[in-house]
Structure 1
C-alpha cells in the first residue's frame, strides 16, 4: 500500500511539473530571448608586435626611441652599452665589434 501511494504521488508530481513547464519550453517566441555574451579579447597582431612602433607607446620612428631603452646592455646585436647621448639621425651599422651611425664610429 505504501508503494502504491508513493508511486501515485510521484506520478502526480511529475505530471504537474510537465504541465506547468510546457509553456516555458525552448524556442518560445513569447519569452525574452537571452543570449550569452561571448567574451573574446581580439588583438591586432600588427600593432601588438614588438617590431611595430605602435608597441612602443606611439613612438613613430626608430629615432624616437631613447638610448635609455638600450643602455641596459643587450641590444640583441652583441651586448653594446652606449656611453653618453646618442642621436640617431642616420643609418645604424653594426659590424663584429663596433657600432656606426652613418660613417661615424660610436663604439
Structure 2
C-alpha cells in the first residue's frame, strides 16, 4: 500500500452492514467515515478463491467441515455475535493459510 493508505480494513460476512452505515449517515446528514468506504466481504472472497456459491457463514463453515450433523456450527451458536466473530475468523484464517492475503472487495456502487 502507498504512503498514507490504511493497512487495516473492516471485514464483514456480506455487504449489508457497511451499506447500512452509508444509508444511516445519509439520513443523519453526516459524512461516511473513511473506514466504511471500502471493506472485505468474506463471502465474496470465498467465492473468488474457491469457486462455488458461498451464501453465508454456514456454507463457508461447511467447506471447513465445521458444522454438526444438523448443520449447526461446531463452535458456538449461529447469529450470536461473539460466536459469529469467532467462526468468521476461522474462515478468514483458512483463507489466509491457502492464499496469503485477502483483497478489499466491497464498496458502495
Question: RCO higher in 1 or 2 (8 Å CA, sep ≥ 6)?
Answer: 2
Q: TM-score, normalised by structure 1?
A: 0.17
Tell me which protein shows more helix as a share of its residues. Answer: 2
Which has the greater radius of gyration?
1
TM-score normalised according to structure 2 size: 0.17
